[in-house]
Amino acid sequence: MKKRSNIITVAIDSPAAAGAGTQAKLISKEYNLLYLDTGKLYRMAALLKIKNKNFNYLYLKKNMAKLKLSSLDNKGLISDEVANTASVIAQDIRIRKIIKNFQLSCAYNPPTKYSGSVLDGRDITSVLMKDAMFKFYITANVKERAKRRFIEYKKLKKNITFKEVLKSLKNRDKLDKNRKYSPLKKTKDSILINTTKLSKKSCFYKIKAIMDNKIYN
Ligand code: C5P
């Protein structure tokens, strides 16, 4: 794979709804980086599985080969059913391998209009971008995460209770942290950011201070 040199690379891992996506978007704007929410790829695979009875590896491979970044703006990806299915199929090493290339090309070969890339997910710091210039592990208390996700769902008029959201987040945490391949974990070289009591802004200032220090000094 072609790799661009001298680019800024940011890898973020986090459990669901910890605020990683929000921070990754802010980072991408501040430093002109391509942003990829890798969870969306697993959600896309999940949606394909839910919608097609004849879903198989080849089918997924074909769909991934023609996937455009803009296709990930699909509202159909935001649902508890899709998230839970994503977490189940993400345990499958063959599915992970099919999704890997798309992520690697965003990470290491972003379009030249960008100064680099920022990816968030579950195995970005530990597997996908081990050599990233910046590595963060963003987390928050599970009740706080459920509260945030519940508010997001309510805004989208989703018919779901807080209890259900909390239960499925706990279930996904368990699956994602305990699976055999690419489990979610904090690597030793990642900087821990706990967003439970932090506003979006103060969390971003913390990250920006760390990044500016390395980029501009
Ligand atoms: O981040 P998001 O909640 O959208 O991810 C959905 C699911 O996709 C996660 O619960 C996880 O099982 C899977 N995933 C993964 N590796 C990634 C990103 C997401 O296994 N890098």
pLDDT digits (tens, 9 = 90+) for 7-47: 999 999 999 999 999 999 999 999 999 999 999 999 999 99
Encode pLDDT of 105-131 as tens digits: 999 999 999 999 999 999 999 999 999
Atom in ligand 1 nearest the alpha carbon of residue 21: 1
Residue 65 lies in a domain: yes
Please write the tens of the pLDDT for every residue from 44-96.
999 999 999 999 999 999 999 999 999 999 999 999 999 999 999 999 999 99
Domain encompassing residue 41: 8-205
The token pair at 10 is: 């940011």
**Is the CB of 184 within 6 Å of ligand 1?**
no
| Residue type, position 119, single letter | L
User: Does ligand 1 come within 6 angstroms of the Cβ of 42?
Assistant: yes
Name the strand (E) or helix (H) holding 12: strand 8-13
User: Reduced to 3 states, what is the DSSP secondary structure of residue 190?
Assistant: coil
Check pLDDT > 90 for residue 133: yes
Q: Give me the residue label for tokens 């990806």.
A: 77
pTM for this structure?
Answer: 0.97
**Does residue 83 sit within a domain?**
yes
The model's pLDDT over 149-191, given as tens digits with 9 standing for 90+, comes to 999 999 999 999 999 999 999 999 999 999 999 999 999 999 9
Decide whether any atom of ligand 1 lies within 6 Å of the 145 Cβ. Answer: no
Q: Is residue 210 part of a domain?
A: no
Total domains, the chain? 1
Q: Is residue 212 part of a domain?
A: no
Whether 161 is covered by a domain: the verdict is yes
pLDDT, position 217 = 84
120 is a domain residue: yes
What distance in Å separates the CA atoms of residue 84 and residue 127, rounded to the nearest whole number? 22
Residue with CA at minimum distance from ligand 1 atom 10: 87
What CATH number has the domain bearing residue 37? 3.40.50.300
Domain membership of residue 1 (yes or no) is no
Within a domain: residue 215? no
Ligand 1 binding pocket includes 83 (Cβ within 6 Å): yes
Tell whether the model's pLDDT for residue 1 goes beyond 90. no
Tell the residue nearest (CA) to atom 11 of ligand 1: 87
